């Protein structure tokens, strides 16, 4: 097709040539973090008499991808399933388990759990909640045809039996310390109504809020569930999520009070914004995310433990916490602090000391006296924190004679590489909070697809992980989990740099009664009221 | 003339077919797919990913996937969004209207700014001319998403009470709708206004040297009359053409501007769909945008031929 600018072209004079139409290439925007501000502002919880009514407007950074708790895989969906559905158990604000749809449970012989269910609970469509729904939910999860991501973690369930309408029995194949944690997590333990189709787009649960409407990329509206079983809750009459895809936009929307609350990804930006007004409450949340470097140990040079230890010794973790996170985080290990046996960021771990001289010596022993080039270090381009940390690590490692080339990649292809074990040497994908540390350790087992992808072949570690999951006593389990992490650090299977809150939550102080969770779902909207 | 128009339509169909094929293959050439994008960083077993792919028909050979899509599209079925599980044809129209509104407001802003600065630099010469041309050069070098981000940040910091992010639907409040589109449209219009300004300047200079203007001057008409009746009227024809041809860059610009200002239009939808690899939606939007650009170009050509007897199509 010919584009004729004929009229214009004939008009050209010596000094009056029009600009050529320019084509602009698409660039991914990332919010450049502002000035470095160190220190976390305290959160402000004002006390007062809860008020019923009102609307809470939340700024969300991602749309849900599906709303059926059994089949969702995207973190962005959890925020919505967390308000619509409830499970047998739930987390308290300080990450303890308490009853929800169950009123109590008994354990028999460490492998059989009998739950007594709450009476008079109804689903949003009026259908009464019974043991049948519990059985239906878990049978559906365990059915391979459903292709639920939850099947793997519930494989330990042998059978779910309806004892009577308000009693349900779970029989496990062996003792499992992770089982209750999964049940208490939303969406992993969310109960769906028996025999109802299309809950992916028209969700129906027993939770505090009822799904009202959803316009993709614009807003997601919920209204209070009049039949919710907790007396007087929820206080709010409606909750509206508004979607802003850009971190700069979400920040400005909060400042202009277009939204009452939101969360930010960059702790430095969040710290800065929270200082802009005394009426902003902010809660850094609990450490729930770690920044690991996954090593490909299937081939040289990283199949040599000395090279891996050298890499660990050449890493100044504390410096990364200070520069990248502005101090809003801690040194990390496999399991974040908010978990059973999580690492506190202070105790000495093997090869955690920053010692470039010893790193050089280890490299020389491994046959690299003149340093080593590890090639590509792949990071998520869309996460500015990850990229910043990778750049700092690159400089630190250089001091010990280790050279890497940073390759920032789009998320989808990076995840494809990561899950298939197809990366040259180093790759970083942050690990977020999961209901139980076992989900994190499972990646290190030599018989898991992921572990095989990394080149794990440590049968002693496999046994330690299985034993820890079967340990029902929390104190002993914490000790075991800590041992596993020490073992991982000692062999430098994965390099963990720091741990930090996945999201930093901010809200205007007219929002009261809210508490952030390490799980990073906004479950406590159910106890929130708005004082406008 | 009829034959010419028919040939045009045949070309249009061929172009759209080519665009749909290229867009399809380009998206599939990107590493990663919907299953992986949806799974995010949560640990999902490979067999779960496989099941999602089977569900979406992503395990078929590429060419048969394309032919299936094409067959459905020709019968008016553009499939279902992977993310929202709703028919694409239901999702698109309201967003398309929003983008049309945004680009229309942007086109008006670009016209007003472009014609004003172009006219000023052509008529006043000297220092004004220099200022305008330097300004044009600078503005053309600044991408619209940078302008947009700066507007968002500055207003967020210094005028937090101005409701920047409350996009108002037209039917709810027509005035508020235009108001909520002003700043994003401005960000979108800046670069286009420069092109219009340069073209206006060139056209006015060209027309000013024509005989009929000399005659008008000689007759002693007032300068204002000459500018209004002779210069602007004759110089605007090419300017309108250029504006029409800029629709493509306005549509392209809307992708990031809508994303930054949280405007629920087609551009933002495309950005999101590419990120989440929502193939059916990407296909439909790319096709629609290509159709709009092709049609506008065709209309501009036809209108030009009608307006100017010297042009043959």
Q: Residue A497: is its pLDDT beyond 70?
A: yes
- Identify the three-state secondary structure at position B144: helix
Number of neighbouring beta carbons within 10 Å of residue A25: 5
Shortest CB distance from A13 goes to which of B162, B202, B245? B202
What percentage of chain B exceeds 70 in pLDDT?
A: 94
Higher-confidence residue of B174 and A336: namely A336
- Please tell me if residue A13 touches chain B, with a CB cutoff of 8 Å: yes
Residue A246 to residue B262, Cβ atoms within 8 A: yes
**Pairwise CB contact (< 8 Å): A24 & B253:** yes
Higher pLDDT, A200 or B122: A200
Residue A32 scores a pLDDT above 70: no
Contacts of B301 in chain A (CB under 8 A): 4
What is the pLDDT, as a whole number, of residue A222? 98
For residue A518, the SS3 value is coil
Task: Quickly state the pLDDT bin for A483 (edges 50, 70, 90).
Answer: very high
CB contact under 8 A, B43 and A443: yes
* Residue with more model confidence, A212 or B2: A212
Q: What is the pLDDT of residues A367-376, one digit of tens each?
A: 999 999 999 9
CB A491 within 8 A of CB A455: no
pLDDT on residue B308: 64
Query: Residue range B84-104: average pLDDT?
Result: 89
Reading the block at residue A276, the tokens are 């802009």
Please, which pLDDT band fits residue A22 given cuts at 50, 70 and 90? very low
> Comparing B269 with B217, which gets the higher pLDDT?
B269
Residue A10 has pLDDT above 50, yes or no: no
What is the share, in percent, of chain A residues with pLDDT greater than 70? 91
Q: Which of A529, A532, A531 is closest to A239 using CA atoms?
A: A529
User: Nearest Cα to A187, choosing from A58, A74, A336, A339?
Assistant: A74
Mean pLDDT of chain B: 84
- 């969310």: which residue's tokens? A190
Beta carbons of A76 and A67 less than 8 angstroms apart: no
Nearest CA in chain B to A382: B275
What is the structure's pLDDT at A360?
Answer: 95
For residue A77, pLDDT beyond 60: yes
Inter-residue contact A382 to A28 (CB < 8 Å): yes
A29/A468: higher pLDDT: A468
Whole-number pLDDT of residue A53: 92
pLDDT tens digits for range B153-177: 888 778 777 766 667 777 777 777 7
- Record the pTM: 0.79
Residues from chain A that touch B33, judged by Cβ atoms under 8 A, are: 412, 416
* pLDDT, average across residues B268-297: 89
* Stretch A19-43: mean pLDDT: 28
**Nearest partner of B290 among B11, B14, B72, B15, judged by Cα:** B15
The pLDDT of residue A98 is 94
Q: Is the pLDDT of residue A123 over 50?
A: yes
The minimum CA-CA distance between B239 and chain A, rounded to whole Å, is 8
State pLDDT tens for residues A236-272.
999 999 998 888 889 888 988 889 999 998 888 888 8
Is the Cβ pair B41, A430 closer than 8 Å?
Answer: yes
Whether chain B has a CB inside 8 Å of the CB on A142: the answer is no
Q: How many residues make up chain B in this entry?
A: 313
Contacts of A6 in chain B (CB under 8 A): 304, 311
Selected residue of B125, B163, B165, B237 to mutate for chain A interface (largest A Cβ count, 10 A): B165
Mean pLDDT of B221-228: 80
Report the range of poorest mean pLDDT among A77-91, A109-123, B12-26, B169-183. B169-183
Q: How far is A7 from chain B (nearest CA, A)?
A: 6
Q: Which residue of B has its CA nearest to A145?
A: B51
Q: Which residue has the higher pLDDT, B276 or B78?
A: B78
Q: Flag whether residue A302 sits within 8 Å of chain B, measured between CB atoms.
A: no
| Highest mean pLDDT of the ranges A34-48, A278-292, A295-309, B164-178 | A295-309
Q: How confident is the model at residue A413 (pLDDT cuts 50, 70, 90)?
A: confident
Residue A334: its pLDDT value, please? 95
Environment class of residue A322 by beta-carbon count within 10 Å: exposed (0-12), middle (13-18) or buried (19+)?
middle
Whether the per-residue pLDDT at A316 is higher than 80: the answer is: yes
CA distance B129 to chain A (A): 11
Q: pLDDT class for B152, splitting at 50, 70, 90?
A: confident
Nearest to B259 among A6, A245, A417 (CB): A245
Q: What is the pLDDT of residue B284?
A: 93
b/e burial code for range A476-493 (CB count within 10 A of at least 16 → b): ebbebbbebbbbbbebbb
* pLDDT confidence band for B1 (50 / 70 / 90): low
pLDDT band, very low/low/confident/very high, at A35 (cuts 50, 70, 90): very low
Residues of chain B with C-beta less than 8 angstroms from the C-beta of A429: 41
- Which of A37-46, B107-116, B214-223, B297-306 is predicted with the least confidence, judged by mean pLDDT? A37-46
Alpha carbon of A38: minimum distance to chain B alpha carbons (Å): 20
Say if the Cβ atoms of A147 and B48 lie within 8 Å: yes
> Which of B140, B167, B255 is nearest residue A26 as measured by Cβ atoms?
B255
Look at B140 and A19 and tell me if their CB atoms are within 8 Å. yes
Look at residue A356 and tell me whether its pLDDT is greater than 90: yes
Asked if A32 is an interface residue toward chain B (Cβ–Cβ < 8 A), one would say: no
């Amino acid at each position: 097709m010919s584009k004729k600018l004929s009229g214009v072209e004939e008009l050209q004079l010596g000094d009056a040539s029009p600009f050529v139409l320019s084509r602009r290439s698409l660039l991914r925007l990332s919010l450049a973090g502002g000035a470095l501000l160190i220190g976390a502002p305290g959160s402000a919880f004002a006390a007062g008499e809860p008020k019923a009514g009102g609307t809470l407007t939340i700024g969300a950074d991602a749309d849900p991808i599906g709303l059926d708790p059994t089949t969702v895989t995207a973190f962005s969906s959890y925020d919505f399933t967390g308000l619509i559905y409830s499970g047998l158990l739930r987390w308290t604000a300080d990450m303890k388990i308490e009853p929800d749809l169950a009123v109590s449970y008994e354990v028999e012989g460490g492998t059989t759990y009998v739950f007594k269910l709450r009476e008079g609970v109804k689903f949003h469509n009026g259908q009464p909640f019974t043991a049948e729904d519990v059985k239906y939910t878990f049978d559906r999860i365990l059915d391979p045809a459903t292709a639920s991501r939850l099947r793997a973690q519930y494989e330990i369930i042998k059978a779910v039996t309806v004892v009577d309408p308000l009693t349900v029995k779970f029989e496990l194949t062996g003792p499992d310390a992770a089982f209750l944690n999964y049940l208490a997590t939303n969406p992993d333990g969310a109960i769906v109504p028996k025999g109802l189709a299309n809950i992916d787009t028209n969700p129906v649960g027993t939770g505090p809020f009822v799904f009202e409407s959803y316009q993709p990329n614009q807003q997601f509206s919920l209204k209070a569930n009049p039949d919710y079983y907790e007396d007087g809750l929820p206080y709010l009459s409606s909750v509206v999520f508004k979607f802003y895809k850009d971190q700069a936009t979400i920040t400005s929307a909060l400042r202009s009070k277009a939204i009452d609350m939101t969360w930010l990804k960059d702790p430095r930006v969040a710290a800065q914004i929270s200082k802009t007004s005394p009426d902003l409450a902010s809660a850094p949340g609990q450490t729930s995310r770690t920044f690991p470097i996954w090593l490909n140990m299937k081939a040289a040079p990283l199949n040599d433990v000395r090279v891996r230890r050298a890499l660990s010794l050449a890493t100044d973790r504390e410096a990364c916490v200070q520069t990248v996170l502005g101090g809003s985080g801690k040194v990390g290990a496999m399991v974040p602090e908010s978990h059973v046996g999580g690492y506190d960021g202070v105790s000495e771990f093997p090869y955690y000391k920053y010692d470039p001289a010893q790193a050089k010596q280890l490299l020389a022993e491994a046959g690299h006296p003149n340093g080593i080039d590890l090639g590509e270090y792949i990071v998520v381009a869309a996460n500015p924190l990850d990229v910043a940390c990778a750049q700092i690590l690159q400089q630190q490692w250089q001091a010990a004679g280790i050279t890497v080339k940073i390759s920032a990649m789009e998320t989808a292809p990076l995840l494809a590489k990561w899950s298939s074990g197809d990366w040259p040497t180093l790759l970083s994908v942050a690990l977020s909070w999961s209901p139980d540390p076992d989900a994190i350790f499972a990646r290190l087992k030599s018989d898991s697809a992921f572990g095989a992808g990394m080149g794990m072949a440590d049968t002693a570690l496999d046994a330690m992980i299985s034993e820890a999951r079967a340990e029902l006593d929390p104190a002993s389990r914490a000790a075991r989990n800590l041992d596993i992490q020490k073992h991982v650090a000692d062999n430098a299977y994965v390099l963990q740099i720091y741990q930090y809150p996945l999201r930093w939550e901010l809200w205007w102080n007219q929002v009261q009664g809210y508490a952030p969770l390490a799980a990073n779902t906004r479950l406590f909207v159910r106890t929130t009221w708005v004082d406008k | 003339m009829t034959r010419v128009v028919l040939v045009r339509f045949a070309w249009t169909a061929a172009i759209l077919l080519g665009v749909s094929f290229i867009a399809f293959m380009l998206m599939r050439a990107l590493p990663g797919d919907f299953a992986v994008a949806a799974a995010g960083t949560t640990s999902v077993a490979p067999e779960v990913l496989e099941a999602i792919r089977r569900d979406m028909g992503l395990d078929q050979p590429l060419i048969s996937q394309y032919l299936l899509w094409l067959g459905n599209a020709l019968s008016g079925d553009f499939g279902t969004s992977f993310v929202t599980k709703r028919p694409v044809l239901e999702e698109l129209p309201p967003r398309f209207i929003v983008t049309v509104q945004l680009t229309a407001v942007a086109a008006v802003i670009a016209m007003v700014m472009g014609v004003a600065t172009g006219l000023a630099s052509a008529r006043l010469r000297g220092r004004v001319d220099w200022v305008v041309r330097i300004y044009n050069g600078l503005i053309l070098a600044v991408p619209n998403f940078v302008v947009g981000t700066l507007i968002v940040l500055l207003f967020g910091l210094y005028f937090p009470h101005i409701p920047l992010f409350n996009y108002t639907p037209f039917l709810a409040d027509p005035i508020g709708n235009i108001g909520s589109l002003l700043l994003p449209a401005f960000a979108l219009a800046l670069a286009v206004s420069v092109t219009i300004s340069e073209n206006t300047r060139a056209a006015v200079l060209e027309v000013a040297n024509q005989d009929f203007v000399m005659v008008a001057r000689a007759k002693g008409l007032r300068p204002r009359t000459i500018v209004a009746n002779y210069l602007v009227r004759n110089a605007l024809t090419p300017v309108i053409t250029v504006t029409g041809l800029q629709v493509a860059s306005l549509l392209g610009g809307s992708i990031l501007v809508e994303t930054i200002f949280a405007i629920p239009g087609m551009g933002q939808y495309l950005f999101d769909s590419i990120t989440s690899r929502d193939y059916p939606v990407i296909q439909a939007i790319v096709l629609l945008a290509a159709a709009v650009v092709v049609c506008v170009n065709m209309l501009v050509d036809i209108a030009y031929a009608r307006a100017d007897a010297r042009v043959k199509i």
